[in-house]
């Protein structure tokens, strides 16, 4: 004779606690992905700005190479002051520099001409270009390029 046992406990699926735990784990994963995406976007923007700043500094140095060597001193722009992004001194009236400063302001965020610096040492022909910009509420970003310019005679 066979006896049928009735189950004392039914397996009716997930419990409410299991569902809530699964939702918490899923939510943490989604929030982590959103944070990762935001960080990735911020870093990509910073890398793009650094590439642009390097290109702009190189472009100014190339323009100086083809300029008249006797005008080297006119390329100096706010050449005094050593604090990053807070240069001081006279602004350049050189048309190449003013056009370049306009280009910088158009291509880099919050990169006003008053935050840029070009130091020209006429004796050694050494030129230092310091660019400064800011993305939103991030801290200031800066790039400094120093090169020995050998003017074409």
Give me the pLDDT at residue 83, please: 80
Instruction: Identify whether the C-beta of residue 135 lies closer than 8 Å to the C-beta of residue 48.
Output: no
Give me the pLDDT at residue 6, please: 56
pTM of the model: 0.77
Determine the Cα–Cα distance for residues 133 and 105; give it in Å rounded to an integer: 9
Could you report the per-residue pLDDT of 81-127, keeping only the tens digit for each?
A: 878 789 999 999 999 999 999 999 999 999 999 999 999 998 888 99
Residue 141 confidence (pLDDT) above 80: yes
């Amino acid at each position: 004779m066979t006896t049928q046992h009735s189950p004392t406990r039914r397996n009716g699926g997930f419990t409410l606690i299991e569902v809530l735990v699964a939702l918490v784990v899923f939510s943490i994963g989604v929030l982590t992905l959103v944070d990762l995406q935001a960080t990735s976007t911020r870093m990509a923007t910073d890398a793009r700005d650094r590439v642009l700043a390097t290109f702009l500094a190189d472009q100014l140095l190339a323009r100086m190479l083809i300029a008249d060597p006797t005008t080297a001193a006119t390329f100096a722009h706010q050449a005094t002051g050593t604090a990053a992004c807070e240069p001081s001194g006279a602004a350049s009236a050189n048309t190449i520099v003013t056009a370049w400063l306009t280009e910088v302001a158009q291509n880099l965020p919050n990169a006003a001409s008053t935050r840029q610096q070009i130091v020209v040492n006429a004796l050694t022909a050494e030129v230092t270009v310091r660019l400064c910009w800011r993305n939103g509420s991030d801290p200031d970003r800066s790039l400094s390029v120093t090169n020995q310019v050998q003017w074409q005679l």
